Structures are given as structure tokens and as C-alpha cells.
Structure 1
């Protein structure tokens, strides 16, 4: 994955895709979930996260209490020592990574994959339904995740091609 090319493509498409996602709040095709499922399956056939890992390089998951306890035990630390070494509490009270890229990213792979935070396990959140309700989540992830950029673009193209859709 050429992240430089991805960032250029994402910046070029961001406004159009964000506008499309906003329009979905008002106009939702009857078969939206089927459109999303087909686009998501096609996107995963051409996407390999281990060639990218941009999410781990540019974002931080939130760490729940359960995440901290599980990961701390896995790396042989107390939860307090783990938080002190790796995390900070943001303005909303969420525990976040102190550094980027993520301290557990090694060669574009998660070194704690089996016990990673739930937030990481659920990313890029393509399973959120209904799709149209989570437009803000997808819009925020377009600049971080090639899979999300591709998914939203595939959905947009299909909807604009098959429905009367404002451009």
C-alpha cells in the first residue's frame, strides 16, 4: 500500500464522499444493506490491512478497563503500570495511546492481535448498521483507512448509477 498515494486520493475524494454520506441521512435506497454488503465483500477481496496499517500509524483506539486488564496481563504488567507506560486519559475520560504509531505495531502487524482492544477488533466499523446512520464514522475514517475510502466510494458509485441521486 502506497500511503502517500492513498492520502492524495482520500483528500481528493473526501468532500464528495462526505457529501454523499450526508445525503444518505435523508435518502436511503430500500436495498441499502445489500448494496453495502456487496461493496464490502468486493472491497475485502482487494484489500490487505497488513500492507497498510495506517489506522495503527495515525489513530488511537480507546482502551476500556477490560482491554487494559487483558492486555496488561498478556504483556506481564499490572493494569496501572500498563496505563502509566502506554496510555493517557483524554478530555472525555477515554484511555488512549500516548504515541503514534501504536506501540504494538511491528512490521505493519499487531503484536498483541489476539488480545487487542475491542475498538481495534471492530475497526474499520463496516459492520455498523444501518449504514446511513453511521455516516459521520465513515466520513471520519475516510482519511485514515483505504478500506473505508474504497467501501464508501463503491457504495456511492452504485447508488448514483442505479438511483435518481443528487450530485
Structure 2
């Protein structure tokens, strides 16, 4: 995964893709679920998340109580100790997030997560392409289009398809 190239392309095309996602808030093709499924399938033939880990390097997941209990148990820690060591509560959202970025559980030499089998729900669901209806998560995709190669490719493919085949 060439992250430098991805970042260059994502920044170059960000305005176009964000504009597309914002317009998608107003106009949604009837067959959007099918368009998303087709584009998403193509994306995963091109992107290997486990070879990338850019999300772990540049973002923090939100942690729910179940995540904290599961991972602290795996690490043989009390949940309170886990929170004190690794997390803080955001004032504006009240969400528990990592104290540090990159993620404390990412091994930077291998791009592998040291708690992968126990990772938070937010990490398991990332990059959230399967959320339905897709257009209700445009704000998520706006934020991720420059951070996640899979989201960048998905939105790029959707934008191209909609522009070519629909009155837009």
C-alpha cells in the first residue's frame, strides 16, 4: 500500500468527493444500495486493510463499555486501570477515545494490531461501508475519504458511476 500516493490523490480529489457526498444528502439514486454493493466489492479487490493500517495511525476509535471490559480482561487489567492508562473522555461528545495516535495497540513495524481478535466494535466495523442507508453516513465518509484508501476508492467509484450514468 503506497500511503503517500493515496494521500496525494485523496487531497487532490477531496473537494470533488466531498461535494459529491454533500449532494448525495439531497439526491439519492433509487438503486444506491446496489451501486454501493458493486463498488464496495471492487474496492476490496484492490485494498488490503491489514497491509495499510492508516486508520490506526491517524484516528482513534470510540470505545464502549463492552470493548473496555473485553480488552482489559484480555490484557489482565481492571477496566478502571485500562481507562486510566489508555483512554480519555472527549468533552464535546462524551466518547471514550485513545489518549494517543497512532493507536497504542498498533505495532508500527508490522502494521498489525496486538489486540486484533478483541479490538473495539468501532474498529471491527471500520470503514463503515456496510452501514444502511449509505447516504445517512456521508459525514463519516467525508471524514474518512482522506484517511482510508478503501473509503477514498469507494466514494471515487460511486462519484464516477453516478456522474456518468445519472442526471446529476
On whether the aligned pair clears a TM of 0.5, the verdict is yes
Cα distance, 1:24 vs structure 2:
1.0
Which residue of structure 1 aligns with residue 36 of structure 2?
36
Alignment pair present for 1:132 and 2:135: yes
Cα distance, 1:110 vs structure 2:
1.3
Q: Structure 1: state its 5+ residue gaps.
A: none
Cα distance, 1:89 vs structure 2:
1.2
Which residue of structure 1 aligns with residue 102 of structure 2?
101
- Aligned counterpart for 1:145 among listed residues 135, 148, 158: 148
**What is the CA RMSD across the aligned residues, in angstroms?**
0.9
SS at match of 2:35: helix
Q: Structure 2: state its 5+ residue gaps.
A: none
Cα distance, 1:7 vs structure 2:
1.1
Q: How does 1:73-88 map to 2 (within 5 A)?
A: 73-88=73-88
SS at match of 1:139: helix
Q: Distance in 2 between matches of 1:120 and 1:39?
A: 21
Q: TM-score, normalised by structure 2?
A: 0.95
Q: How does 1:2-81 map to 2 (within 5 A)?
A: 2-81=2-81
Q: What per-residue deviation string (whole Å, max 9, x for no partner) do you get for residues 102-142 of structure 1?
A: 11112111111111000100100001111122111111111
* Structure 1 stretches of 4+ moved >3 Å: none
SS at match of 1:45: coil
